[in-house]
């Protein structure tokens, strides 16, 4: 099986290491906008195992030229969400399967929904190809945790709260844990959650409360919109309410407010010295590269699902989560825990497909596949998970 990874950022670094270490893949290539970054990742892995290439993933034509030369069986897209559709188009044109970790976003609008990618369903089906959407940690493992809960522990899921805590400290006043442009667009948008068949919209960070995270303690947690809610309420129609909580420190929120107030989070172009620039893209250029945070990052992330529903006529609660240590992630891959927790599931999802365990013609969200083989291997790959039954969910 041949795997082509697109995007040589923090996540791409982890995906490439994990795929290169997996014997199910006979050939591995990492391609990105800047080839020197691919070469550095390949050199660190060594042994000539990883081939590299330059590609502009905004161009279907450039992608197809590369795909026709390398002939990948599966393409793992860990570039930016802007490239999802061009990469899917190229997969269709050249007969490759597809996997990503973030849903498509148009550059000129911070708008998160699956409709653009779900619209490819018939075309992937007609070609007999598989497209796997949202196979990072969240989206990704959170949806697989939910599928596992539905398969083994509940007849009906009624309340789903996904909780995402990063209790790490990188020693910087302000930095984002993944691509700053995508991260700031995501966390500054209005909050949104699902309740009784409709979406409730809130002001950004309007709903918040302290939640306790295992081995970490209490952290203020904020309801924000996150893309897996859209597919999970569709695939589990018994859900009455679904929310996503993320922790933010006061220092982070203060910086974010200033960035917004002074216009640096704007995504529309402005003219500066006769040149068009997009303020948030300029901001990205001066903020720390998320890949560089790993060396001084201490503490853990804790991401999981808190679920209430019924089993055999009785109400029950269930909490399934993973804690990941920034220092351990750095020791293994040279990246911090956010890149690690995203890259490991993406590589494992590609492996599930390559081994024939996750297959099908069409476009799938990860909860539509069997969660068991994936979760059986996730711990070995560096992300062990824990289950707790009948505990106070706090939410």
Residues that bind ligand NDP in the complex, under the rule CB under 6 A = 7-12, 32-34, 37, 55-58, 78-81, 83, 101-102, 136-140, 178-179, 182, 290-291, 338-339, 342
Query: Given the complex with ligand NDP, which of 138 and 325 has the nearer CB atom?
Result: 138
Query: Given the complex with ligand NDP, which of 9 and 191 has the nearer CB atom?
Result: 9
> How many beta carbons lie within 10 A of that of residue 343, not counting itself?
32
Query: Given the complex with ligand NDP, which of 90 and 307 has the nearer CB atom?
Result: 90
Cis previous bond, 358, omega within 30: no
Q: Tokens representing 22?
A: 């997996």
CB neighbours of 44 closer than 8 A, spacing ≥ 6? Answer: 17, 334
**β-pairing verdict for 191-195 and 241-247:** antiparallel
Query: Given the complex with ligand NDP, which of 45 and 200 has the nearer CB atom?
Result: 45
For residue 155, the minimal CB distance to ligand NDP (Å) is 29
d(CA 222, CA 161): 12
For residue 140, the minimal CB distance to ligand NDP (Å) is 5
For residue 341, the minimal CB distance to ligand NDP (Å) is 7
Residue listed under structure tokens 């899917």: 88
For residue 146, the minimal CB distance to ligand NDP (Å) is 14
**Contact of 114 with 88, CB cutoff 8 Å:** no
For residue 6, the minimal CB distance to ligand NDP (Å) is 6
For residue 171, the minimal CB distance to ligand NDP (Å) is 19
Query: Given the complex with ligand NDP, which of 14 and 149 has the nearer CB atom?
Result: 14
Q: Is 264 helix (H, G, I), strand (E, B) or coil?
A: coil
Q: Is 369 helix (H, G, I), strand (E, B) or coil?
A: coil
Burial label for 159, CB within 10 Å (0-12, 13-18, 19+), is middle
For residue 245, the minimal CB distance to ligand NDP (Å) is 15
Query: Given the complex with ligand NDP, which of 279 and 290 has the nearer CB atom?
Result: 290
Query: Given the complex with ligand NDP, which of 9 and 371 has the nearer CB atom?
Result: 9
For residue 52, the minimal CB distance to ligand NDP (Å) is 12
* Residue with smallest beta-carbon separation from ligand NDP: 9
For residue 347, the minimal CB distance to ligand NDP (Å) is 13
d(CA 374, CA 358): 9
Q: Is the dihedral of CA 335, 337, 342, 347 positive or negative?
A: positive
Q: Is 5 helix (H, G, I), strand (E, B) or coil?
A: strand
**Contact of 231 with 365, CB cutoff 8 Å:** yes
Q: Is 265 helix (H, G, I), strand (E, B) or coil?
A: coil
| C-alpha dist (Å) from residue 225 to 72, 210, 356 | 34, 18, 33
Query: Given the complex with ligand NDP, which of 10 and 279 has the nearer CB atom?
Result: 10
Q: What is the DSSP string of 223-252?
A: E---THHHHHHHH-TT-SEEEEEEE--HHH
Q: Tokens representing 200?
A: 């409730």
Q: Is 321 helix (H, G, I), strand (E, B) or coil?
A: strand
Query: Given the complex with ligand NDP, which of 36 and 238 has the nearer CB atom?
Result: 36
């Amino acid at each position: 099986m041949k795997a082509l990874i697109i995007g040589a950022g923090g996540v791409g670094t982890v995906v490439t290491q994990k795929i290169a270490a997996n014997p199910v893949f006979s050939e591995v290539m990492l391609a990105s906008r800047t080839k020197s970054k691919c070469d550095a990742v390949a050199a660190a892995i060594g042994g000539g195992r990883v081939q590299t290439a330059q590609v502009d993933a905004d161009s279907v034509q450039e992608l197809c030229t590369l795909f026709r030369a390398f002939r990948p069986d599966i393409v793992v897209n860990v570039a930016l969400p802007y490239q999802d559709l061009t990469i899917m188009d190229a997969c269709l044109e050249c007969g490759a399967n597809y996997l990503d970790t973030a849903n498509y976003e148009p550059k000129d609008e911070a708008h998160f929904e699956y409709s653009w990618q779900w619209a490819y369903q018939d075309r992937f089906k007609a070609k007999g190809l598989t497209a796997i959407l949202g196979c990072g940690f969240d989206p990704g493992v959170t949806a697989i945790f939910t599928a596992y809960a539905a398969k083994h522990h509940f007849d009906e899921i009624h309340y789903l709260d996904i909780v995402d805590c990063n209790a790490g400290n990188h020693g910087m006043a302000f930095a984002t844990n993944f691509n700053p442009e995508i991260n700031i667009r995501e966390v500054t948008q209005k909050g949104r959650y699902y309740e009784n068949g409709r979406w409730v919209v809130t002001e950004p960070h309007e709903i918040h409360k302290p939640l306790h995270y295992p081995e970490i303690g209490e952290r203020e947690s904020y309801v924000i919109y996150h893309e897996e809610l859209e597919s999970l309420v569709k695939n589990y129609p018994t859900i009455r309410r679904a929310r996503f909580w993320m922790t933010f420190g006061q220092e982070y929120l203060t910086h974010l407010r200033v960035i917004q107030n002074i216009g640096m989070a704007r995504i529309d172009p402005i003219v500066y010295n006769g040149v068009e620039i997009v303020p948030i893209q300029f901001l990205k250029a001066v903020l720390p590269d998320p890949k560089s945070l790993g060396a001084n990052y201490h503490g853990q992330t804790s991401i999981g699902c808190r679920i209430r529903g019924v089993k055999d006529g009785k109400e029950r609660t269930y909490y399934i989560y993973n804690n990941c240590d920034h220092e351990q992630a750095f020791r293994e891959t040279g990246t911090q825990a956010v890149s690690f927790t995203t890259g490991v599931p993406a590589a494992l999802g590609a492996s599930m497909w390559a081994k024939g365990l996750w297959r099908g013609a069409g476009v799938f969200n990860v909860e539509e596949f069997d969660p068991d083989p994936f979760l059986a291997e996730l711990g070995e790959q560096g992300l062990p998970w824990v289950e707790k039954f009948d505990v106070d969910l706090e939410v």
